[in-house]
Structure 1
Amino acid sequence: MAEVPFIAIEGPIGIGKTSLANKLSDHFNFHLLREIVEENPFLGKFYDDIDEWSFQTEMFFLCNRFKQLEDIEKKYLKQNKAVISDYHISKNMIFARRTLQKDKFDKYEQIYHILTQDMPVPNMMIYLHASLDTILKRIKMRGREIEQNIKPSYLAQLAQDYESYMNEFEIMHPEIPVIRINGDEIDFVKYQNDLDAIISQVQNQLNHFTTISK
């Protein structure tokens, strides 16, 4: 694990990962790493025809996230500077398993493991989850045109995939604390008290680190 705080926030599309990452970055004065989404030239086509465009879409995300993490390791973590990210690169496998045909998934998985074997690993995870109704409302609220054609059935499957993944993650990585946030009960964008409660949980975990870069 990284020697300085490296926090990753994960959860389904539209759940509020970037919003929370921004707020925590401001509060703790940690460098913010945001994933590249709208820059993906295949994403709109992917939501229209998942089978046809899934491999191109997933490969674009994988290569860009690899480059981002490579830069983060050199410029921040190795310089003893804390980082908070609105994604964990392992999310690539969640989407790939859901969208790729077996032959393409097998190739993708090999490339994924080659690229990520030496990548920095977060030492804290924040997992945002919510019901399908809440996810759909938040996607509609943020109004990204590219996301308006996402099928609810796909989002429901994705939410289940995330839940299974995070359950497995906690078993496989007991040394990495996971803070679970229920988006049906907490709205950290609207209510400061909800945000303060999350900040308190994060601070409690940060207290275990001996090196915190402010």
Structure 2
Amino acid sequence: MLLVVGGMIGLGKSSMAALLGKHFNTEVFYENVDNNPILPLFYTATDEEIQKYRYPFLLQLHFLNSRFRSIKRALYDDNNILDRSIYEDWYFAKVNNELGRISDLEFRIYGELLDNMMEELKELPKKAPDMMLYLKGSFETVLDRIMARGRSYELDNSLVDYYKRLWLGYDEWVMKHYHASEVLIIDMDCYDIVSSQEDAKEVIALVEQKLEKIRQ
């Protein structure tokens, strides 16, 4: 069994992955955030610095490399949880390209590299995840939870438009572009798995029910 957890920034992917890892007694591959040297620069750079140093493109390459490493290990072991995955990475690159933060040439190079990596995954014993948990929620919930977790570089008011652009297109990406596995949608406006044990148990039950249907 391989589960991936996806969704908008701030909605609790790492907490969900930890909950699932504990429940299924399996390893969790977390998104590389705390030790990512480019991420704070991506969030705090001026437009001039972005154009000069190409932080968005470098960040996408950094994440692509780390997610490729994680999914290879996860697919070999065939019993893991991924906190975001290589499948989702393309959506962030696409949005940054549309915003002019990644050039068309950079986006093409990124896409060719991603395609090459995906071809490599086809050679592994297990080809794809069994299910993605898609965490969705209102934009107000997204902002509230970003503020609550308190990463200083994520809190600047100038980032709200960027978050809104990501949020607006996420459902479309899941419905039209994600084809690797079954999807279970979890409405994070309705669940607080960190503060409520009852909510956590209910989400686990939903996951188990969905997996049972997949196995049939």
Taking structure 1 as the reference length, what is the TM-score of the superposition? 0.85
> What does residue 149 of structure 2 align with?
142
Q: Separation in 1 of the partners of 2:199 and 2:110?
A: 39
Q: Deviations over 1:63-98 (max 9, x none)?
A: 111112222333x12xxxx11111121111011011
Q: Which has the higher helix share?
A: 2
Give the deviation of 1:30 after TM superposition: 2.1
Aligned to 2:197: 192
Q: 1:38 to 1:161 in 2, by over 3 A?
A: farther
Matched, 1:6 2:23: no
Using the aligned pairs only, state the percent identity.
Answer: 29
Runs of at least 4 residues off by over 6 Å:
none
Which of the numbers 88, 106, 131 marks the counterpart of 2:138? 131
1:23 alignment counterpart:
19
User: Per chain length, whose mean CA-contact separation is higher, i.e. which structure has more relative contact order (CA < 8 Å, sep 6+)?
Assistant: 1
2:34 counterpart SS class: coil
Moved more, 154-163 or 41-50: 41-50
2:80 and 2:213 mapped to 1: Cα distance?
16
Provide the rounded CA distance (Å) in 2 between the counterparts of 1:89 and 1:194: 28
Cα offsets for 1:136-169 (capped at 9, x unmatched):
1111111112322361111111112221111114
Give 1:107's aligned residue: 109
In 2, the alpha carbon distance for the partners of 1:104 and 1:157 equals 20
Q: 2 CA distance for matches of 1:189 and 1:19? A: 7
**2:143 match: secondary structure:** helix
Q: Distance in 1 between matches of 2:197 and 2:204?
A: 10
- Unaligned stretches of 5+ residues in structure 2: 97-101, 122-126
- CA, structure 1 residues 209+178, in 2 after alignment: closer, same or farther (shift >3 Å)? closer
- Select between 46-55 and 63-72 the one with higher mean Cα deviation: 46-55
What is the CA-CA distance between 1:179 and the residue it aligns to? 1.1
Q: What is the aligned residue count? A: 198
Deviates more, 1:93-102 or 1:183-192: 183-192
Per the alignment, in what secondary structure is the counterpart of residue 121 of structure 1? coil
Q: CA RMSD in A?
A: 1.8
Taking the aligned partners of 2:86 and 2:2, their CA distance within structure 1 comes to 13
**Counterpart-to-counterpart distance in 2, 1:138 and 1:110:** 34
Unaligned runs of 5+ in 1: none
